[in-house]
Structure 1
Amino acid sequence: MYWTEFLTVALVHLLAVASPGPDFAIVLRESVSNGRHAGIWTALGVGSGILLHVGYCLLGIGLIVSQSIVLFNLLKWLAAAYLIYIGIRALQARPADPASSELAPLATRSPRAAFVCGFVTNGLNPKATLFFLSLFTLVISPQTPLLVQAGYGLYLALATAVWFCAVALLFSQARVRRGFVRLGHWFDRLMGAVLVGLGIKVAFSELH
């Protein structure tokens, strides 16, 4: 009976995780500068950071916000403003200088250091806090059992880790990274349009 809600959560998460942001930047940097293994460990750290956000939502913060019209509206406008802001920034993306695609020699990076880097980047990102509070108040019903919500959270963490592991595998290849530097601004603009649309939708949402 929760498949519709789960599919909505999965779709919203897919759009969010695929959009450019700090997590993408840190995984890309580690993959390019320190190699494939460092990129993968960073991706696993990012995925684990998701559990931190899910944890405080399950502890009731999301429910408290959803029961207060003042807090809800504050969160709603902050989330909408954030989505529209990063969407506009992405729409303004310009082609990168092809010369910047030259790769530096790989450095040594321990798995632990790479993992912690990814975890801290995601876990301490206030933008991620807004996203997950919005997800657990606007998309996931308060009547959904905590066990089911925890299942959503595990999926979000796993899906995030898998996505960024794929990013690490892809962009640790020099040839692919150079191609992305030349064409990546078109992807940024597409995701920017999607994010602006989501921001407008959030701005007009109501507390039920």
Structure 2
Amino acid sequence: MDFTQWSQLALICVMGAMSPGPSLAVILRNTISGGRTQGLMSGVGHGLGITFYSVVAITGLVALLKTVPNFFLIAQIIGSLFLILLGGKMIISGIGGEQDNGELKQSTITGYRGFSEGFLIAFLNPKIAVWLLALFSQFVQPDADFTEQLVMVSTVGGVDTSWYCLVAFLASSGGLVKAL
């Protein structure tokens, strides 16, 4: 994987992490109701959930690419179509002005609970698994060595953890909490 491919992977991961959804709602809820530490623990838990899925996705793809000769082309086409579908849905929902009116409830959560909720919101979301398979199908080569796989998994997990910890940090700062 060269720097250009890695940059593309990292940019896609940043955009994926930044897209609003249930993960963002959980991180914000835990941060606002439990403080900065709880939010950071939720972000770390979410990042580890994503990293776990990444390991499973990349390991499975490499195994399939080595055993099924035409799987690489099929995976790339299906993965591309899925990413296009997700992008189209995001654009359409943005144009339509769909908004979530869910209210954040005040609660007391521990660091462990914040971590586990962050992990579980990532781990129990099947769209994340499909998204990672679609994403990796564009970058994984059948002859990918362990180092290349490690770079990809670390990029995905690192970007996700960094983003949600940044969200927790910003959401726990005085001005933003008052605005919410």
- For the criterion TM > 0.5, the same-fold answer is yes
* Superposition TM-score tier, normalisation by shorter sequence: 0.7 to 0.9
CA distance, structure 2, for counterparts of residue 76 and residue 95 of structure 1: 27
Q: Which amino acid letter does the alignment assign opposite residue 82 of structure 1?
A: L
Partner of 2:126: 126
Kindly state the Cα deviation for residue 71 of structure 1 after the two structures are TM-superposed: 5.6
CA distance, structure 1, for counterparts of residue 161 and residue 76 of structure 2: 29
Matching of residue 45 in structure 1 with residue 49 in structure 2: no
Matching of residue 77 in structure 1 with residue 81 in structure 2: yes
Partner of 2:57: 57
Kindly state the Cα deviation for residue 63 of structure 1 after the two structures are TM-superposed: 5.6
Determine what percentage of the aligned residue pairs are the same residue: 23
Matching of residue 90 in structure 1 with residue 83 in structure 2: no
Kindly tell me the number of residue pairs found equivalent between the two proteins: 176
**TM-score, structure 2 normalization:** 0.81
Partner of 2:145: 145
Structure 1 unaligned spans of 5+: 182-208
CA distance, structure 2, for counterparts of residue 173 and residue 5 of structure 1: 35
Query: 74-83 vs 60-69, which deviates more?
Result: 60-69
Q: Which amino acid letter does the alignment assign opposite residue 31 of structure 2?
A: S
Calculate the aligned-residue CA RMSD, in Å. Answer: 2.9
Q: Deviations over 1:164-208 (max 9, x none)?
A: 1110011123521454x5xxxxxxxxxxxxxxxxxxxxxxxxxxx
**TM-score, structure 1 normalization:** 0.71
Partner of 1:18: 18
Kindly state the Cα deviation for residue 60 of structure 1 after the two structures are TM-superposed: 2.4
Partner of 1:158: 158
Query: 83-92 vs 118-127, which deviates more?
Result: 83-92
Q: Cα–Cα, structure 1 residues 91 and 140, in superposed 2: closer, same or farther, change >3 Å?
A: farther
Q: Does structure 1 conserve the Cα–Cα contact (< 8 Å) formed by 2:79 and 2:137? A: no
